[in-house]
């Protein structure tokens, strides 16, 4: 363990440890199925957002095809769950991640020559093609807009309470592992290469960072995580419709990332929590959800460019500067 | 032969309207380096104006088109003031293209959902501007509405070209497109020019919306498909290249007409996007795009 993880102080580690323990005990105390379902769904979205934040915020590659990658993870693992029943379900979920990683790497190649906005348009086009093919799928592999056929769930022998709790732990563990992986990767050779390529592509390349290899690896890692998220979603919700990769979920996910702070490790966590809370509060006014989210997105981008995490970091540094002034 | 006439006639009609919607995006990108995701909403607003004026109040079609132009101009200007103007001072601190992409996208989400709240999800019928149709060849016909749409689109694009080539504001827009800082130094009022440019582009999309509303419907998501097609067109043509946009618009129109006649409507968009994927791999800046900063 190097870099970000070792640079955390003992205090921080203790705080993280306490938070994790509280989060782990939480479902034993709280069992309301309605809110537990929302929380588990949010955990899955969090995994997706971590993967997207890695490629969009940290690597600075304008990948707007992440939801298609996510969907392909769901379809890939779903096919295995339905048609290769000898396979353990957790392996099918993992295979969904592998399937997405492969597609994501393939998607990386045509983007290698592109910059900025063109990358976003190409990946967005890719997502549109995937969505159209899935909707109009002639052989019924995806279930079209009616949704994927019901797959066998994990923990099918448990009662509803324990079932939700186990999903909560599983998805939470994956999200936690993803968070740590990204924090570690951020300070690793790969992460530094990615960030330098994002901030100064020509200089980074001149200093010996290979833009192609780095970008392809970043796509692969991010795709793997997105695929796992998709497979978990299919497994938990027991369905996957093509609207899951439409414009509405995409705008919600982008809002989450921007609110939290693009390119930060904890940004997706904060963003997902805040937006899910807003959505849950406004659940009785479905029409207003997106209106308000759109307004929030606009305000955050215009007035708080770094997102919530960036704002906190600025306050933090201002306070420590103030303290240092006082003591020194 | 029948198929060929149908493909060419429909291709030119589609191409003209896509050109009209996409040329605004090109103008905005060429001048301000903003990929304006709210252009689709301007089409949506245009179709609602068309529905309100033509179906509800039975206004003269010319007046309805003018009204759509004005309303979309106002919305476009407002969009710029809300989503771009506050960021201008921070051009160097933030990734301007990315941030404005997100803010205009946010405006699009907002407008779509406000329309959804206000008008409900149901589609509204927009009557055609001109009734009747013209028999072209052996059962292939084209409505006068489509003919007007194509003619007026071409006329508006020509007017835009004249505006850019002959007027003071046109000079200013082209100067900003070539070199923002130099134009500023020489006294081009960028903070006033940006809203006007975006308003102008939106107004063209709004007029397109009245026509498209009669072809499809007016609904909160009426702008999605035109936006996707306009994106295809501008990327194919090379972002910021006006001539490239025109070529690409007709190319896309013809391709769409071909797909509809020969393959089937459902596969049109995947095929178009597939074409984009291929073209971008071979030509990373589109057909007529230039990697340098010389555009428009």
Q: Using CB atoms, which residue from A124, A126, A305 is nearest to B94?
A: A305
CB contact under 8 A, B35 and A301: no
B195-242 pLDDT, tens digit per residue, is 999 999 999 999 999 989 888 888 888 888 888 888 888 888 877 788
Nearest CA in chain A to B85: A302
B130-172 pLDDT, tens digit per residue, is 887 777 777 777 888 888 888 888 898 889 889 988 899 888 9
Please give, rounded to a whole number of angstroms, the shortest distance from the CA of B234 to a CA of chain A.
Answer: 10
Of A75-84, A117-126, B243-252, which gets the smallest average pLDDT? Answer: A117-126
DSSP assigned state of A243? G
How far apart (Å, rounded) are the C-alpha atoms in residues B244 and B236? 8
Please give, rounded to a whole number of angstroms, the shortest distance from the CA of B201 to a CA of chain A.
Answer: 19
Share of chain B above pLDDT 70, in %: 96
Helix (H) or strand (E) holding A32: none
- Averaged pLDDT score across all residues of chain B: 85
Tell me if chain B has a CB within 8 Å of the CB of A321. no
Q: Using CB atoms, which residue from A113, A294, A301 is nearest to B110?
A: A294
Q: Using CB atoms, which residue from A110, A128, A258 is nearest to B281?
A: A110
A window 16-75, beta carbon within 8 A of B: 60, 62
CB contact under 8 A, B106 and A62: no
Average pLDDT over residues A5-9: 64
CB contact under 8 A, A298 and B101: no
Tell me if chain A has a CB within 8 Å of the CB of B162. no
CB contact under 8 A, A305 and B285: no
* pLDDT band for position B174 (cuts 50, 70, 90): confident
Please give, rounded to a whole number of angstroms, the shortest distance from the CA of A93 to a CA of chain B.
Answer: 28
| Full-model pTM | 0.84
Do B26 and B187 touch, CB atoms closer than 8 A? Answer: no
Which has the closest alpha carbon to B129: B70, B57, B45, B63? B63
Residue recorded with tokens 């103007």? B85
Nearest CA in chain A to B274: A129
Q: Where exactly are the structural domains of chain A?
A: 48-157+178-244, 246-328
Nearest CA in chain B to A126: B273
Backbone angles phi, psi at B140, to 5 degrees: -80, 125
CB contact under 8 A, A287 and B116: yes
How far apart (Å, rounded) are the C-alpha atoms in residues B16 and A15? 61
Cα-based distances in Å from B230 to A40, A206, B40, B65: 38, 37, 8, 20
Tell me if chain A has a CB within 8 Å of the CB of B171. no
B105-128 pLDDT, tens digit per residue, is 889 988 988 888 888 888 888 888
B127 burial level (CB within 10 Å; 0-12, 13-18, 19+): middle
CB contact under 8 A, B266 and A136: yes
How far apart (Å, rounded) are the C-alpha atoms in residues B267 and B260? 8
User: A122, A131, A254: best mutation site toward chain B, by most B Cβ within 10 Å?
Assistant: A122
How far apart (Å, rounded) are the C-alpha atoms in residues A51 and A70? 10
Query: Does residue B290 have a pLDDT over 90?
Result: no
Nearest CA in chain B to A130: B270
Which has the closest alpha carbon to A152: A228, A231, A94, A208? A231
Backbone angles phi, psi at B82, to 5 degrees: -80, -45
Q: Using CB atoms, which residue from A110, A258, A303 is nearest to B102?
A: A258
pLDDT at residue number A86: 82
CB contact under 8 A, A136 and B267: yes
How far apart (Å, rounded) are the C-alpha atoms in residues A120 and A128? 12
* pLDDT band for position A2 (cuts 50, 70, 90): very low
* pLDDT band for position B85 (cuts 50, 70, 90): confident
CB contact under 8 A, A121 and B277: no
pLDDT at residue number B292: 45
Tell me if chain B has a CB within 8 Å of the CB of A207. no
How far apart (Å, rounded) are the C-alpha atoms in residues A15 and A148? 41
A24-50 pLDDT, tens digit per residue, is 888 888 878 889 899 999 999 999 999
How far apart (Å, rounded) are the C-alpha atoms in residues B185 and B198? 22
Residues in chain B: 296
What is the three-state SS of chain B? CHHHHHHHHHHHHHHHHHHHHHHHHHHHHHHHCCCCCCHHHHHHHHHHHHHHHHHHCCCCHHHHHHHHHHHHHHHHHHHHHHHCHHHHCCCCCCCHHHHHHHHHHHHHHHHHHHHHHHHCCCCECCCCCCCCEEEEECCEEEEHHHHHHHHHHHHHHHHHHHHHHHCHHHHHHHHHHHCHHHHHHCCCCHHHHHHHHHHHHHHHHHHHHHHHHHHCCECCCCCHHHHHHHHHHHHHHCCCCHHHHHHHHHHHHHHHHHHHHHCCHHHHHHHHHHHHHHHHHHCCCCCCCCCCCCCC
A264-301 pLDDT, tens digit per residue, is 888 899 999 989 998 888 888 877 888 888 888 888 88
Which has the closest alpha carbon to A270: A245, A222, A304? A304
How far apart (Å, rounded) are the C-alpha atoms in residues B152 and B77? 23
Handedness of CA B97, B99, B105, B111 (dihedral sign): negative
Radius of gyration of chain B (CA): 19
How far apart (Å, rounded) are the C-alpha atoms in residues B242 and B226? 18
How far apart (Å, rounded) are the C-alpha atoms in residues A232 and A97? 10
Average pLDDT over residues A228-236: 92
Backbone angles phi, psi at A234, to 5 degrees: -60, -45
Average pLDDT over residues B48-59: 89
- Inter-chain Cβ pairs, chain A and chain B, closer than 8 A: 112
B82 contacts in A (CB within 8 Å)? 298, 302
Tell me if chain A has a CB within 8 Å of the CB of B92. no
CB contact under 8 A, B277 and A247: no
First to last CA, chain A: 34
B41 C-beta neighbours (distance < 10 Å), count: 34
Q: Where exactly are the structural domains of chain B?
A: 2-282
Query: Does residue B70 have a pLDDT over 80?
Result: yes
The residue among B100 and A149 whose pLDDT is bigger is B100
């Amino acid at each position: 363990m190097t870099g970000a993880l070792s640079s955390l102080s003992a205090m921080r580690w203790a705080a993280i440890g306490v938070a994790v323990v509280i989060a782990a005990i939480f479902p034993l105390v709280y069992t309301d199925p309605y809110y537990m379902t929302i929380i588990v769904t949010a955990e899955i979205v969090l995994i997706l957002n971590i993967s997207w934040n890695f490629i969009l915020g940290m690597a600075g590659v304008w990948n707007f095809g992440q939801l298609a990658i996510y969907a392909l993870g769901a379809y890939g693992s779903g096919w295995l769950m339905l048609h290769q029943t000898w396979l353990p379900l957790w392996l099918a979920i993992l295979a969904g991640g592998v399937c997405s990683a492969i597609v994501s790497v393939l998607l990386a190649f045509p983007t290698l020559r592109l910059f900025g906005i063109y990358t976003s348009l190409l990946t967005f086009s890719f997502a549109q093609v995937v969505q159209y093919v899935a909707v109009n799928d002639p052989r019924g592999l995806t279930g079209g807009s009616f949704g994927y056929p019901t797959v066998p769930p994990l923990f099918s022998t448990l009662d509803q309470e324990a079932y939700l709790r186990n999903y909560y732990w599983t998805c939470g563990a994956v999200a936690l592992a993803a968070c740590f992986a990204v924090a570690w990767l951020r300070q690793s050779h790969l992460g530094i290469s990615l960030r330098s390529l994002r901030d100064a592509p020509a200089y980074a390349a001149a200093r010996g960072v290979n833009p192609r290899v780095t970008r392809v690896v970043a796509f692969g890692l991010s795709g793997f995580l997105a695929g796992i998220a998709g497979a978990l979603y299919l497994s938990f919700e027991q369905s996957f419709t093509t609207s899951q990769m439409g414009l509405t979920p995409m705008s919600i996910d982008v809002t989450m990332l921007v609110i939290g702070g693009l390119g930060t490790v904890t940004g997706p966590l904060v963003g997902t929590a805040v937006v899910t809370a807003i959505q849950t509060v406004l659940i009785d006014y479905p029409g207003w959800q997106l209106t308000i989210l759109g307004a929030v997105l606009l305000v955050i981008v215009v007035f708080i460019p770094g997102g919530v995490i960036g704002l906190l970091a600025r306050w933090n540094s201002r306070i420590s500067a103030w303290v240092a002034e006082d003591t020194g | 032969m029948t198929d060929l006439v149908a493909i060419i006639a429909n291709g030119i009609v589609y191409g003209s309207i896509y050109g009209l919607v996409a040329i605004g995006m090109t103008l905005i990108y060429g001048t301000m380096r903003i990929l304006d995701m709210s252009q689709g909403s301007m089409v949506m607003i245009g179709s609602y104006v068309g529905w309100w004026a033509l179906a509800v109040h039975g206004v003269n079609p010319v007046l309805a088109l003018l009204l759509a132009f004005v309303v979309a101009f106002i919305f476009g200007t407002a969009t710029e003031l809300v989503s771009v103007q506050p960021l201008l001072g921070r051009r160097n601190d933030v990734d301007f293209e990315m941030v404005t992409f997100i803010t205009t996208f946010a405006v699009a989400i907002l407008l779509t959902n406000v329309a959804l709240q206000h008008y409900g999800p149901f589609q509204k019928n927009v009557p055609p501007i001109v009734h009747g149709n013209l028999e072209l060849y052996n059962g292939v016909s084209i409505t006068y509405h489509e003919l007007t749409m194509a003619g007026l689109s071409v006329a508006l694009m020509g007017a835009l070209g004249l505006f850019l080539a002959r007027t003071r504001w046109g000079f200013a827009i082209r100067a900003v497109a070539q070199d923002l800082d130099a134009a500023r130094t020489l006294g081009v009022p960028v903070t006033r020019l940006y809203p006007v440019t975006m308003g102008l582009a939106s107004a063209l999309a709004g007029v397109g919306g009245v026509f498209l509303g009669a072809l499809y419907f007016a609904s909160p998501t009426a702008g999605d498909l035109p936006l996707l097609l306009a994106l295809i067109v501008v990327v194919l043509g090379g972002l910021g290249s006006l001539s490239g946009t025109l070529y690409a618009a007709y190319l896309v129109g013809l391709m769409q007409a071909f797909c509809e006649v020969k393959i089937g409507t459902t596969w049109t968009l995947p095929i178009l996007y597939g074409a984009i994927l291929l073209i971008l791999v071979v030509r990373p800046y589109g057909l007529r795009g230039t990697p340098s900063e010389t555009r428009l």
